Structure 1
């Protein structure tokens, strides 16, 4: 496993230092026993902080209403005053030498999305994504389109979340891609599109080749119509939770034949997707037969993700829906702190996931609503503890359906932005 620079981000993520790899099995911090017997010799595992230490670190940052995190504060930026004697600053850089707001066009006339002329008179910009102005306007009127505009009032990064697998099966992929591409084009703040969820785990596809064909065709169409947008997919790799347990691995391979790790990893290594989200929903129950609890299954998964260097090809995210409960989360402050340590801090600290996506609200087929926060944004212990994670806020994301608001879109997004740095807006 590679050791890369890890930034101090607080809440059980502030590491005490990275020591030498655990070459010896006698090292008390070695976790090589969690890896498969066929793991290459150069791949080693070492706890940078034990689960007990992680809990202590989490308490340090969360106690006293997060006062230690508040006192830490950001460091002052390093600046250079070009007017001071002895300082030399470049004077031949590109640009006009004037300050501009973020998002301002660098060519006069580009504000309206037309075809402005460059300084020398030649045409230098063509909108070639094939999305008409009428299609973009129609997308803006949808709940998701209006929500993308409302997100601009917060500081959250925006993804569009949709499901293209059903459209693909129905022979309507091109039409569906055009709609989501138009939606992504309506707001400059949209950074990407998550085009499928539970891929290979649900019953949409019956063969692995069919899945690969869908991913290839969907991503090709999206990159054509939504150039520059990152593409993401959500799935689960049950084999990873087994660790070195051969009986578990044999059962998971038989039970989930479409979720072969090498095939999933190829979506990243071939550049088909930019972000892969792994669901953590079954880690608590799937491995009980082999006496592997949720914490061990998560550690096993993290070790496998790091060993395969998937993050060298794209961003890895973990997704967790277990904080929410019917009506509202019922965790006490102590339980919420432990859940944060185990389900958020641990995978980030293990350097297995760059972001954690939490389901903050959803509604089942019977109309029952589950929430992390209180009804109509009433306070509760879980939400209050999550709001203390300011330092890791950019690494936290949630999924939001603007067609089913808690109060209204503006109010909901404002409250979500107090915990999350990124939001996936659901588009039907």
Structure 2
């Protein structure tokens, strides 16, 4: 019964995330939410609610009834084929000899009998490591706290990102040197997904003009693309105007207060392919809009609508980020409070299709040495952590940030415990 309910939840969630249907062009559409968009919204931007839970449950029930009979009876869609001999059809010439070969037969001349074929040895073929990182630099990177922690992450089931801050290096004229260190760390540990190269972008005081901000993003991502080809690039920021919804007074105030956080500018970074993942912080949603009587839930809904309406997820992966579960010492939430918080801050962004992943800060230390945690000190149990451990069905979508230079117990113990909740970890590299 538990497995069946879990299947029903997963299928229902997947269907609700798809939200396939007729565009909400008409105000008579019962699923239209165009009324939440401001009057100056372009005509091509429309808003439509996702499938209702009842609709998703009915569809899921159809596929699961009678022990999944309908799923068993379903057959794959016939593949689309082209007859190259038919008049009028043109097929591109493919490489190879056009003949079928046995499984495990050599695909490179000279590989028979276990020999080493030409161009399988990097030295003979003139292969050059695209990162340009030397063996000595890799060894040095492995010896750093981040390098050692990266090796420990490989022993868990978590996907690994490298988290660093390159804005200060950029301002100091040391971007190339900093990128080289990141590249060495990536080269030293196979399997790194990508690099998060900045946080609070445009929100903090590092950059003061829009041009400076744009130059940083363009030049830093270009340097990283060269140094670590094939790795995803991520950035963290906040877009306060999104929480306003259709409230014009709120939007005017947020635009004035945060001039660099223009959604059109941030969207351009995604459209140009500069950033592969954008994390939007949710910390401000709880109190930034009190003047206009917009509570956290409404602000979250407004932000979700704006993200979907702008189709940002078509250009990059969108992540929601939240640090509010942690508290000084340890989280003090009761089981009921923790469940409510998880529903609002984790489930809501995922179910609203406004985020593909959710990143939760589980531990950090301020300048005075005071530690804030989600879990208990030395991994003591508490209600919040216990509730988070129940989210195994969406573990792959949950991420956290870990600083190996400030462990709770030790790196191995910390990462093992984190892997019980999270499927991804951003490893801080100084």
Is the structural similarity TM-score above 0.5? yes
Superposed displacement of residue 41, structure 1: 4.0
Aligned with 1:306 (options 308, 326, 349): 308
- Cα-Cα RMSD: 3.1
- Determine which structure has more spread, i.e. the larger CA radius of gyration: 2
**Matched residue SS, 1:282:** helix
Return the offset for 1:382. Answer: 0.9
Q: Check whether the contact 1:319–1:357 (CA below 8 A) recurs between aligned residues.
A: yes
Match among 221, 225, 229 for residue 219 of structure 1:
221
Unaligned runs of 5+ in 1: 1-6, 58-71, 81-90, 99-107, 111-115
Query: Paired residue for 1:96?
Result: 104
Tell me the SS of whatever aligns to 1:219: helix
Quote the offset at 1:301 in angstroms: 0.8
Alignment of 1:378-417 (within 5 A): 378-417=380-419
Q: The residue matched to 1:366 in structure 2 has which SS? A: coil
Q: 1:236–1:259: 8 Å Cα contact kept in structure 2?
A: yes
In structure 2, how many angstroms separate the alpha carbons of the residues matched to 1:197 and 1:318?
Answer: 13
Pair 1:377–1:120, CA change in 2 (3 A): closer
The answer as to whether partners of 2:27 and 2:34 remain within 8 angstroms in 1 is: yes
* 8 A Cα contact 1:358 1:398, kept in partner: yes
Partner of 2:254: 252
Q: TM-score with structure 1 length normalisation?
A: 0.81
Contact 1:320 1:359 in 2 (8 A): yes
Task: Please state if 1:201 is matched with 2:209.
Answer: no
Deviations 1:256-305 (A, max 9, x none): 11111111111111111111111111011111111111111111111111
Q: Deviations over 1:190-234 (max 9, x none)?
A: 110001000110000110100111111111111111111111111
Decide whether aligned partners of structure 1 residues 332 and 267 sit closer, same or farther in structure 2, where only a CA change above 3 A counts. Answer: same
Separation (CA, whole Å) in 1 of partners of 2:260 and 2:45 = 26
Structure 2 SS opposite 1:228 = coil
Larger helix fraction of residues: 2
Residue equivalent to 1:291: 293
Give, in angstroms, the shift of residue 393 of structure 1: 0.5
Paired position in structure 2 for 1:68: none
Per the alignment, do residues 95 and 202 of structure 1 end up closer, same or farther by CA in structure 2, a change over 3 Å counting? farther
Q: What is the CA–CA distance in structure 2 between the aligned matches of 1:427 and 1:280, rounded to whole Å?
A: 24
Tell me which residue corresponds to 2:83. none
Rounded to whole Å, the distance in 1 between the matches of 2:101 and 2:419 is 36
Q: Using a 3 Å threshold, how does the CA distance of structure 1 residues 258 and 136 change in structure 2: closer, same or farther?
A: same
Q: Given the alignment of the two structures, is residue 345 of structure 1 paired with residue 353 of structure 2, yes or no?
A: no
| Alpha carbons 1:12, 1:349 under 8 Å: kept | no
Separation in 1, partners of 2:183, 2:121 = 30
Counterpart of 1:45?
47
Task: Determine the C-alpha separation between the residues in 1 that align with 2:129 and 2:182.
Answer: 17
- CA separation in 1, counterparts of 2:385 and 2:13? 20
Task: Structure 2: state its 5+ residue gaps.
Answer: 1-6, 58-67, 77-98, 107-113
Q: 2: CA distance between counterparts of 1:30 and 1:94?
A: 56
Q: Secondary structure at the match of 1:192?
A: strand
Cα drift, residue 24 of structure 1: 5.1
CA contact (8 A) 2:130 2:229 kept: no
Change (3 A) 1:109 1:385: farther
Query: Offset of 1:125 from its aligned partner?
Result: 3.4
1:118 aligns with one of 108, 120, 123 = 120
Q: What is the DSSP-based 3-state SS (H/G/I as helix, E as strand, rest coil) of the residue aligned with 2:211?
A: helix
Cα contact 2:130–2:228 (8 A) shared by 1? no
Encode CA deviations 1:114-162: one digit per residue, 9 max, x unaligned: xx94289961632132211111111111111001100011011100000
Q: Find out whether 1:328 has 2:344 as its counterpart.
A: no
**Displacement of 1:39 after TM fit?**
2.5
Q: Which residue of 1 aligns with 2:274?
A: 272
